[in-house]
Amino acid sequence: MKLLRTIALDPSDTFVFDVPAEPGDWAVSGAFRFCDRDPAELSGKDRSAFRSGFLGVKSWGWSTLAQIVHATEDDRRALVELLAKQLVERFGAPDLATARLAAEEEVEFAQSLCTHPISALIAVHRSASEGEVRESFRRLQLREGQEHGKAFSFMPEVEDDTEPDSNFNLANTSGEPSRR
């Protein structure tokens, strides 16, 4: 089985997000963190987290990239349990049983993003329109024989996983929308 872990190829997440995820933290989309907020009113680091962050479950911080990794059934169970506890403690879920159901859904969604090979990197772009949040995910493809190194050493080869947002610019995820 495969799951997502946060990865930091450079220190940029420490500048982009209020709370950066710890590298190697189990990751989920984390879009639920914005369910009670109007995305149009977000600014600064909150806006960056909404637009381009994966949620590190243990650290409750954000990561620009997630890496597909091998996981065991025990890893998955521990992730669901950890996320459920976080939903109660940090997000106000009414009880652990209710939180566990929500955590199962989040982890199942994260697993659905793991269709690519182990070590592939995934980026997210979120947008909101007419009260609906849309997420698009992209795999960042390394060139043949290249290993993960600095953040921008592999970015020219991007493979779309879902219908792309034509204005998506990974280098500008913390700024204003690109002008074309």
The string of pLDDT tens digits covering residues 3-40 is: 999 999 999 999 999 999 999 999 999 999 998 899 98
Give the pLDDT confidence of 56-92 residue by residue, as tens digits: 999 999 999 999 999 999 999 999 999 999 999 999 9
Cα torsion through 155, 149, 173, 22, rounded to 10: 150
Please tell me the total count of domains within the chain.
Answer: 1
Give the pLDDT confidence of 97-149 residue by residue, as tens digits: 999 999 999 999 999 999 999 999 999 999 998 888 999 999 987 655 555 55
Q: Is position 32 within any domain?
A: yes
Q: Say whether pLDDT at 155 is over 60.
A: no
Q: Is position 106 within any domain?
A: yes
Q: Is position 179 within any domain?
A: no
Predicted model pTM:
0.80
Say what the pLDDT of residue 160 is. Answer: 46
Q: Is position 162 within any domain?
A: yes
Which range marks the domain in which residue 167 is found? 2-172
β-bridge partners, 70 = 2
Q: Is position 178 within any domain?
A: no
Say what the pLDDT of residue 146 is. Answer: 53
**How many helices (H) does the chain have, and how many strands (E)?**
4, 8
- Do residues 142 and 148 make contact, with C-beta atoms less than 8 angstroms apart? yes
